[in-house]
């Protein structure tokens, strides 16, 4: 080796070490700072979800129940003058294969029609609550069915 080659090798090793350190630190920071999926659900969550017929049915279909019934308050500003209050209720939140779902239980007094407009009006809002929610599970306890609905927006020229 010629004089100064050792210094060049040392500088390359130090530069590589610094790059590796910076890359690992960035990756670790992203991992730590990334909010867990649906973390807003756990703000007042109990540690355990009560086991009932619905949770057993979801478990039988491969879903892991993350949270029980949640009330989501909504504030509505009307014409910048009046402030109105409302709320949404989610029966459960569930996960399967890394996908998150809002869960609604079927109600005898309010049956769900399987039409596009009815599904949109009744279930779409639950998928839109969190960007990481992949769909809505509609659970029919009497029939022991779990129906999965996933909504996606299409461009006007993509309509079938």
Q: How far apart are CA 82 and CA 141, in angstroms?
A: 40
The answer on 59 and 121 residing in a single domain is yes
Per the structure, the count of domains in the chain is 2
Q: Is 147 a residue whose pLDDT tops 60?
A: yes
The answer on 91 and 66 residing in a single domain is yes
Question: What totals of helices (H) and strands (E) does the chain contain, helices first?
Answer: 3, 7
Distance of CA 128 to the CA centre of its chain: 9
Task: Determine contact, residues 72/64, Cβ cutoff 8 Å.
Answer: no
The answer on 120 and 67 residing in a single domain is yes
Q: Is 38 a residue whose pLDDT tops 80?
A: no
CATH number at residue 107: 3.40.1350
Q: How far apart are CA 160 and CA 136, in angstroms?
A: 23
- Structural domain for 145, as ranges: 39-149
Q: Is 104 a residue whose pLDDT tops 90?
A: yes
The answer on 85 and 14 residing in a single domain is no
Q: Model-level pTM?
A: 0.67
Spell out the SS3 assignment of 66-85: EECCEEEEEEEEECCCEEEE
The answer on 62 and 29 residing in a single domain is no
Q: Mean pLDDT over residues 127-150, rounded? A: 92
The answer on 46 and 4 residing in a single domain is no
Tell me the pLDDT of the chain averaged across its residues: 84
The answer on 144 and 88 residing in a single domain is yes
- Comparing CA positions, the residue from 114, 118, 116, 111 lying closest to residue 140 is 111
**Is 159 part of any domain?**
no
The answer on 138 and 64 residing in a single domain is yes
Q: Is 83 a residue whose pLDDT tops 70?
A: yes
């Amino acid at each position: 080796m010629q004089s100064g080659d050792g210094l060049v090798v040392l500088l390359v090793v130090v530069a590589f070490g610094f790059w590796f350190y910076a890359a690992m630190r960035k990756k670790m920071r992203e991992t730590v700072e990334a909010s867990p999926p649906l973390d807003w659900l756990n703000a007042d969550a109990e540690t355990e979800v009560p086991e009932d017929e619905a949770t057993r049915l979801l478990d039988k279909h491969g879903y892991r129940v993350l949270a029980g019934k949640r009330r989501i308050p909504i504030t509505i500003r009307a014409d910048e003058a009046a402030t109105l209050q409302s709320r949404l209720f989610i029966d459960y939140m569930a996960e399967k294969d890394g996908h998150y779902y809002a869960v609604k239980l079927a109600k005898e007094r309010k049956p769900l029609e399987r039409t596009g407009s009815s599904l949109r009006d009744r279930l779409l809002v639950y998928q839109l609550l969190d960007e990481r929610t992949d769909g809505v599970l509609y659970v029919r306890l009497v029939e022991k069915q779990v129906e999965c609905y996933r909504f996606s927006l299409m461009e006007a020229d993509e309509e079938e």
